[in-house]
Every structure is written in structure tokens, then in C-alpha cells.
A and B are shown apart, each in its own frame.
Chain A
């Protein structure tokens, strides 16, 4: 009971901090497991503990505000860095936009391998990465109220479309994880969050060249005794820019014009090529 009260107090301090420090900090009141709040308070209630510290407990920033897919894009590594009030552990989660993914499974038919089974899942994040300043399993084992999910736990929440036997679903789910890992979209070895001087932390977030577009969310959590005491969220837009953005936009919005453009380009290039070839 004593620990519970302590956690509650910490949460309220942080909530007060959040109100004082502007939009970067999410009030952790909503993040704390409901039972520990006991329903007696909510995060908008006036703090019962004096607001002593003017600095927030967790500050983060990204080395780049967005991932720009240009003509020279080969994947990118973005640095997330920040500072926290010790003691505590930092967990960083990056989630790409959610969509429906269809997994296809090959089977041998008359000696040839072809897709025979398919299963769609909803709420599949385009990208998912999680890193922590301590081995993740140890941190998450203490329970964070289901707010922070390991990749495996996150995968178990994707919703299958239609019905299928549980064992089969598990296989397709495993297949989804396998393909996403292979494409570098669920990087398994994102590495640890490294901490310096007890309060500075940094982590590299790797993004592969085949990266779905959309607004990604980068979240950092500060954990103490297995409880979230602060959380910061930053949007990270991922999109094509410049020439490749124009082409892709053109192709998707006006396929007919794009198709005609492609034909004219080929006609001209072919004619020019032919003319040059004859001169040689």
C-alpha cells in the first residue's frame, strides 16, 4: 500500500510538471495502471504535492524532425537523445502507422512452391522498434500496465480478419513478424538505450530504404520501480520529398497523365537514342 501511494505521489508530481511545462509531456495519469489510482484522483486534479522542480523529468529530441525519402534515400538512422531525472530507466518505442497487411504462405504443389494460404491482419504497425536502457524483458516483467509492449506482445494484438484455427493464426502471425523483420521494419537489434553521466541517454533508430510513408510516433518513457513516471511523445513524419515525391504523387493521383508522361518520355528517349546510335 505504501508503494502504491508513493507511485501515486510521483505520478501527481509529474502531472503537475506536465501542466507547467507545456505540450511535450503527456500527463502520465492516463498511463498509470488504473488500479493504482484507485479512482480517487485524476491527473487534472490540483497537485497535492508542491511543485518543487521546474525541469521536467524527461526531455527528448530527435536528430531530424522528419525522414525525407529523396532520390538518394538509402534508409536512415535517426538519433533520439535526451535527459532524465535519475534514478530510472528509459524505454523508447517507435511505431509506424497502422494498416491492414496480408500474409501469404507458400506450399509445395507438384514440386513447385506457390502461395496457397493467405491471412489478413488489421492494426499492423508499418514499423515497430523498442529499446531500453536495461534488458527489456527485465523491465517489462515488472509490469507497465500494458502501455509498453515488446514486439512479440504488440504482434499478439494485431487483429486477424476472418476466422481461422488458433494454431494456424499463430503461424501466420509468426510469418508476418518474420517478413517485417527481414525487411528491417521491425528491427530486432535496435540496440540499447545508452546512458551517460547517469542522466543523458541516446539511441539510434534505424530506418530501412523500403519504408512505408506516414506519421510515425516516437515515444520515450521514464520508468521507476517498474512504473511509468514520465512519457514524451514526438511525431516523426516519413515521406517522399522532391522529385520522387512528385513522381509518386503524380502516379497515384493521376495515373492516366503519368502513364502518358511515361510513354512520351520513352518515345523521346528511344528516338534520341536511335538518332545518336546512327551517328556513331
Chain B
């Protein structure tokens, strides 16, 4: 069954889009991160223009993070103060990101930059996860019940000015760190159409040293508002948010997420992370080959304009 996407201006199979949303939801359910970083490249693979894929995906992230935030908010797992500080950086970052996006689009380089950033990001995360899960697996086999290592170091965090006390996170660190982190994630979010949880969550744990319990909820809080900001700015500056596309992805996600969380309960974490890393690396390799392979056509068209 085909549906016409009014902003992407092309028809696309409904089930392909629902399936994509479900796959992203599956990941979200399994790992507690939004599946945006896989959904956006997959949307590009099926032929959605990258600019529309990114902007509509940001819209999907809003839905994803609100349903996730509901749970964490109820459990009191949101460090509101930390969330606000992150958000301060995130708002500036995402606004700068949309501006950068618009500029790159005007010079015809946005598709390339999106692909390169995805390759760098996905291959880094994929490799880190693969190495981590393999080494954990090997270690557990040799020495079950080994104590976990130290989670974070303190030297950098403690030297910066503008220190703030974050009660819920039991931290006394410089506000500059979360602001800077929020800024970077904001840029990433705007250009790649992702929430950025898969970067934000490890950074909050290892860089800021936040307790794991409040990390997911707090990151969801910041992602919700940043994604909303990206959606709004993309809609006003580039007009590339396709709500029909976003709605289909969201619907798919609603189906996929519970399946993901059930799978996650059944499979051991090491196996899950191993599988996920292989999946991420596969997408990175596919994107890289697209960049390296001689294209079937050297030419493409920019935006149609009214003649001056």
C-alpha cells in the first residue's frame, strides 16, 4: 500500500515506513535509546531525501522521548536541574545546528555531511560497543562476578569554574560541562535528526559522572525539548518536516518498543550489545561504501527555484 508524503513529495510504501519505525522502536525498547541513529540512515536508503529524513526524524524523536520520559518522570528519575543546564546548551546547539544545516543545504553539501557524520559516529559507537561486549563476555567466562571498574575520573570536571550543585545526581561540577555537552548534542540532533541519547547517555555517565539511575530520564528530558526545537526550526527555515512520514514512524515505534523491551528482558545484556554493535557497524559500512563507490550518476539536482 502506497502513501503520498506531502513534504517529501513522493509516494512510499506504508509498511516499509511502519517497519522502519518498528525497528527503531525495537531498539528503543531494547536499549533505552531512541532508534533515530539507525532510522535516519535507513530512511535515506529507501529513498527519502536526507533533508526530509532528518527533519521528520526529529519530529519522531519528540514522540519517542515523551513516552519514555513519562515512565522516568513517574519514578522520579529526572534530575531537573541537570536537565535544564543541559537544555540551555542544547537549545543553542540545536539552533546553531539548524542554521548550519540550512547553510550546508544551500551549498549542496548537506547529504555528504550527513553521510560522513553518520559513518564517523556509527563506526565509533559500533566498535566501542563491540569491543566492550566482547571483552565483558570473555572476562565473565574467565572470572564470573568480577568487580566493575571505576566509572569515571574527576580531574577535568573539578577544575572548571561556575560550579553548580546537582543534588539528585549527587554532583558538584562546573555548569560549563553539561552546557557544552548539551550544545554538542544539540548540533548533532539538528544535523542528523537524532535525539543523541546514544552519545549523551555514555557522556553523562563517564564524563559527568552521573548515577546511572537518573541518566536515561534526564537525557530524555533534554532530548524532548531539543527535538521539539529542531522540529520547529526545520519547519520554519527549511520546510522539510513531513508529519505524515513522522506519524508513520511513530506508529511503527509504538508497536516495536514493547517487543524490544520483552526481547531485552529475555536476552543477556552482553549478547544484546553485541548484536546491536554488529547492526550499527553494518549500517556504517553501507553508508561508507555509498561514499566510496563510483555513483551510478555523477549528477543530481538541487532545489527548484522560481526564476528571478
Contact = CB atoms under 8 A, between A and B. Distances in A.
A277 B66 CA distance: 13
Interface string B295-308: 10111111111111
A35 B217 CA distance: 81
A102 B281 CA distance: 35
B181 interface: no
Contacts of B291: 112-113
B4 A244 contact: yes
B295 A277 contact: no
A274 B307 CA distance: 48
B276 interface: no
Given A251-B235, A273-B254, A98 B246 contact: no
Contact of B241 (A101, A210, A259, A275): A259
A122 B307 CA distance: 7
Interface centre among B9, B253, B258 (most CB of A within 10 A): B9
Interface centre among A112, A262, A271 (most CB of B within 10 A): A262
A115 B112 contact: yes
B11 interface: yes
Contact of B70 (A106, A112, A247, A274): A274
Interface stretch (A2-10, A23-31, A149-157, A173-181): A173-181
A126 B304 contact: yes
Contacts of A105: 298-299
Contact of B301 (A70, A123, A179): A179
A98 B65 CA distance: 43
Given A267-B62, A271-B67, A175 B298 contact: yes
A82 B245 CA distance: 41
A170 interface: no
Contacts of B257: 273, 277
Given A251-B239, A255-B236, A262-B235, A209 B11 contact: yes
A243 B243 CA distance: 12
Contacts of B299: 103-106, 172, 175-176, 178-179
Tell me what chain B mostly uses at the interface: helix, strand, loop, or mixed.
Answer: helix
A217 B241 CA distance: 31
A271 B66 CA distance: 6
B226 to A, nearest CB: 12
B303 A256 contact: no
Interface residues of A, number: 68
Given A112-B292, A271-B70, A256 B301 contact: no
B295 A182 contact: no
B307 A256 contact: no
Nearest to B66: A270
Interface in A212-247: 212, 240, 243-245, 247
A100 B62 contact: no
Nearest to A98: B307
B259 to A, nearest CB: 10
B84 interface: no
Contacts of A182: 297
A248 interface: yes
Contact of B66 (A100, A114, A266, A280): A266
B114 to A, nearest CB: 12
B300 A209 contact: no
Contacts of A180: 301
Nearest to B244: A247
A24 B277 CA distance: 66
Given A115-B112, A209-B4, A256-B235, A104 B302 contact: yes
B218 interface: no
B4 A179 contact: no
A186 to B, nearest CB: 12
B131 interface: no
B100 interface: no
B111 to A, nearest CB: 8
Given A209-B4, A277-B258, A262 B231 contact: yes
A45 interface: no
A94 to B, nearest CB: 18
Interface string B221-256: 000000010011111110101011011001101100
11 contacts: A104-B300, A115-B111, A175-B298, A243-B6, A255-B237, A256-B232, A262-B59, A265-B59, A269-B251, A272-B254, A278-B71
Shortest Cβ-Cβ A-B pairs, 3 listed: A274-B67, A259-B235, A270-B63
